[in-house]
């Protein structure tokens, strides 16, 4: 269990990226969901000991992650949002190089490790190919292979599915799920389905604040009977916005599909709809925006 307590960070330019975040992250896949600029990368980098918080603590079991950075890095695998590789180097040679950096000195040991990892992420057959020729999904799977060097207890992946096509995304998420059976995996994303499909536990953050922590299905259940939908003309949207608590708008067959949060039928013409995680997500973000405007 990873325990984050009262973590805060304000950057030199005055942006409050993390505001008093306290969060427990159990074994398995954990989804950290938030829009661009919410503070996800700031939180991920802080856990990965790449930046200091102003306040707060992070513990894994009885270990203080912020106090002992070297030890933390030994038990941590990290796939950053911007993962750069040398385009002219083969996957095999690059992974071998990462293994050296992580302290695997003996050549024979490294050869076995590199082979096992390339097989695990399904890149063994293309191990001699240059990384520059890899597709986005292959690059991300390579990124996971390097994060798994050293058998980490904690794996952090920052927005890994952005830009992947659906097949690559599925393949990548399946790989993460496998890893999540053994260790803590924190997946940061702004894609709600990534969390729905994969994560037993989750948190939502917005503007540096924790807006929800728990299990996706419980958060969804809490909205039951309170989400309503209606298809309208795009020109009517502003009127609805002024009158109702709109969760989301989607285009459907040239018309606009509204999801509205209300304890009772908002107007004739609406019908009840089974809530999903997107309703939870947009509901929380909207509540935060309303509270801040007040
Ligand atoms: N080094 C920095 N100096 C100043 N401000 C920063 C720095 N890094 C991030 N920020 C700001 O802090 C806020 C949170 O950024 P962060 O990158 O943590 O968000 P995010 O949820 O990961 O979003 P994204 O998906 O866009 O990366 C943003 O307003 C961002 O502009």
The Cα 241–Cα 270 span in angstroms is 15
Q: Which of 13-17, 46-50, 114-118, 177-181 has the lowest mean pLDDT?
A: 177-181
Q: Indicate whether residue 11 lines ligand 1 (CB < 6 A).
A: yes
Give me ligand 1 centre to Cα 273, in Å: 35
Give me ligand 1 centre to Cα 212, in Å: 20
> pLDDT digits over 100-144, tens only?
988 877 888 899 999 999 998 889 999 999 999 998 889 989 999
Helix (H) or strand (E) holding 187: strand 184-189
Rg (CA), the chain: 21
Structure pTM? 0.89
Q: What average pLDDT does this structure show over 38-56? A: 95
Q: What average pLDDT does this structure show over 56-60? A: 95
CATH number of 2-213: 3.40.50.300
Give me ligand 1 centre to Cα 81, in Å: 12
pLDDT score of 262: 94
CA 79 to mean position of chain CA atoms: 11
Q: Which atom of ligand 1 is nearest to the CA of 159?
A: 25
Pocket-testing residue among 42, 82, 206, ligand 1, by greatest number of atoms within 8 A of Cβ? 42
Give start-end residues of each CATH 3.40.50.300 domain in the chain.
2-213
> pLDDT digits over 230-257, tens only?
999 989 999 999 999 999 888 888 899 9
Query: Which residues are within 8 A (CB) of 24 and not within 5 positions of it... i.e. 6 or more apart?
Result: 1, 2, 3, 4, 213
Q: Which atom of ligand 1 is nearest to the CA of 158?
A: 22
* 136-147 and 166-180 helices, crossing angle to 10°: 10
The Cα 211–Cα 19 span in angstroms is 11
Q: Indicate whether residue 52 lines ligand 1 (CB < 6 A).
A: no
Q: Indicate whether residue 31 lines ligand 1 (CB < 6 A).
A: no
Q: Which atom of ligand 1 is nearest to the CA of 190?
A: 25
**Looking at ligand 1, which residue's alpha carbon is closest to its atom 31?**
37
Q: Which atom of ligand 1 is nearest to the CA of 18?
A: 14
Residue 208 has pLDDT above 90, yes or no: yes
Q: Indicate whether residue 42 lines ligand 1 (CB < 6 A).
A: yes
Query: Is ipTM over 0.90?
Result: yes
- Asked if residues 57 and 227 have their Cβ atoms less than 8 Å apart, the reply is no
Q: What average pLDDT does this structure show over 53-65? A: 94
- Asked if residues 118 and 197 have their Cβ atoms less than 8 Å apart, the reply is no
Give me ligand 1 centre to Cα 108, in Å: 41
């Amino acid at each position: 269990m990873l325990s984050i307590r009262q973590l805060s960070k304000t950057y030199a330019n005055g942006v409050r990226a993390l505001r008093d975040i306290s969060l427990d992250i159990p074994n398995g896949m954990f989804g950290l969901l938030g829009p661009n600029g919410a503070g996800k990368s700031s939180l991920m980098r802080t856990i990965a000991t790449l930046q200091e918080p102003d306040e707060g603590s992070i513990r894994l079991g009885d270990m203080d992650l912020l106090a002992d950075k070297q030890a933390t890095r030994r038990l941590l695998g990290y796939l950053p949002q911007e993962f750069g590789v040398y385009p002219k180097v083969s996957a095999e040679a690059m992974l071998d190089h990462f293994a050296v950096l992580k302290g695997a000195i003996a050549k024979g040991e490294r050869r076995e490790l590199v082979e096992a990892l390339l097989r695990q992420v399904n890149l063994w057959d293309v191990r001699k190919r240059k990384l520059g020729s890899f597709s986005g999904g292959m690059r991300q799977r390579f990124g996971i292979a390097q994060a798994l060097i050293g058998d980490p207890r904690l794996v952090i992946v920052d927005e890994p599915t952005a830009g992947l096509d659906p097949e690559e995304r599925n393949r990548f998420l399946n790989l993460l799920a496998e890893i999540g059976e053994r260790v803590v995996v924190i997946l940061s994303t702004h894609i709600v389905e990534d969390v729905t499909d994969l994560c037993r536990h989750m948190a939502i953050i917005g503007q540096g604040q924790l807006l929800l922590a728990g299990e996706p299905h419980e958060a969804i259940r809490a909205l039951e009977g309170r989400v309503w939908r209606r298809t309208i003309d795009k020109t009517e949207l502003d009127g609805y916005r002024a009158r109702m608590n709109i969760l989301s708008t989607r285009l459907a067959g040239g018309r606009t599909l509204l999801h509205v949060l209300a304890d009772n039928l908002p107007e004739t013409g609406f019908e009840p709809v089974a809530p999903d995680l997107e309703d939870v997500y947009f509901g929380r973000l909207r509540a935060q925006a309303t509270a801040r405007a007040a």
